[in-house]
Amino acid sequence: MTSNVAAFAGDLEALDAWLNQHVATGPVAVIAGKNGDMDTVGSAIALAAHHPSMLACGLHVGRAAQRYVAKHQAPFRRLKSEGTAWPKQLAAIVVVDAAAPEQTGLLLPDVPTCIIDHHATDGWALSNADLRIKWDVRSTTEVITRYLVTHSPSTLTVPVCEFLLAGLVTDTGRLRRFKDEVKEVNAGQECGMAFESYSDLKQGDVIECYEVEEIARSLDG
């Protein structure tokens, strides 16, 4: 996994060249991981905003991500696990935030593939035409943010920045009660928040919070 600044820059140059090569020949699908969380959906939508030939898509959109997609009317195409009709002119796919093909939940087309991910495991078998961007960071949105800041700053509109920030916060934010890290705090109790690798919060900064609801699968699916 890439973990130093010089290698980061090289990866971003390679990603920019790879994307420019393929958007010049046809549409490029930006596929989110099947969990549909804020990091994967935010990464897909933000990267797809880079070029009109790119479209974010995926199997599932989680509850928090749904709110942002609806708020900004963001283009995100929901796909089916079976029978997805990929465009005949599809030039390439970019898969974000998925450590292996099965984590997309889709039967992927046989076209040049770029993987952008931050997980330690890696189940992808790639060819010479493919590209792997795998960084030792806390969220995939960190990779997408650095790419857009470096190579496509005009893409960083307010909605795109909100998607990136939401993905970053939901993957790196931590709750603390006294000295312990906790997953939840009961209403009426005090707690603190810590953000991994971020310590420069200033007065006036805004922290957005998301309600995570777990719903058991029913017999009807």
Mean pLDDT, to the nearest integer, of 189-208?
Answer: 57
Q: Which domain holds residue 90?
A: 5-169
Could you tell me which residues are beta bridge partners of residue 66?
Answer: none
Q: Is 197 within the bounds of a domain?
A: no
Q: Is 158 within the bounds of a domain?
A: yes
Q: Strands 180-182, 173-177: parallel, antiparallel or unpaired by DSSP?
A: antiparallel
Confidence of residue 220 (pLDDT cuts 50, 70, 90): low
Name which of 71-85, 101-115, 168-182 the model is least confident about: 168-182
Distance CA 36, CA 26 (A): 26
Reported pTM: 0.77
Q: Work out the mean pLDDT of the chain and round it to a whole number.
A: 84
Q: Is 202 within the bounds of a domain?
A: no
Q: Is 176 within the bounds of a domain?
A: no
Q: Strands 92-96, 28-32: parallel, antiparallel or unpaired by DSSP?
A: parallel
Q: Is 219 within the bounds of a domain?
A: no
In this predicted structure, the answer to whether residue 123 has a pLDDT above a threshold of 60 is yes
Q: How many helices and strands (H and E) does the chain possess? A: 5, 9
Q: Is 216 within the bounds of a domain?
A: no
Q: Is 199 within the bounds of a domain?
A: no
Q: CATH number of the domain that 69 lies in? A: 3.90.1640.10
- The sheet that has 180-182: what strands, in order across it? 180-182, 173-177, 192-195
Distance CA 40, CA 165 (A): 12
Cβ atoms of residues 54 and 25 within 8 Å: no
Mean pLDDT, to the nearest integer, of 122-129?
Answer: 93
Distance CA 148, CA 121 (A): 25
Count structural domains, the chain: 1
| pLDDT 10s digits, 53-107 | 999 999 999 988 999 999 999 999 999 888 888 988 999 999 999 999 999 999 9
Q: Is 204 within the bounds of a domain?
A: no
Distance CA 195, CA 102 (A): 30
| pLDDT 10s digits, 8-52 | 899 999 999 999 999 999 999 999 999 999 999 999 999 999 999
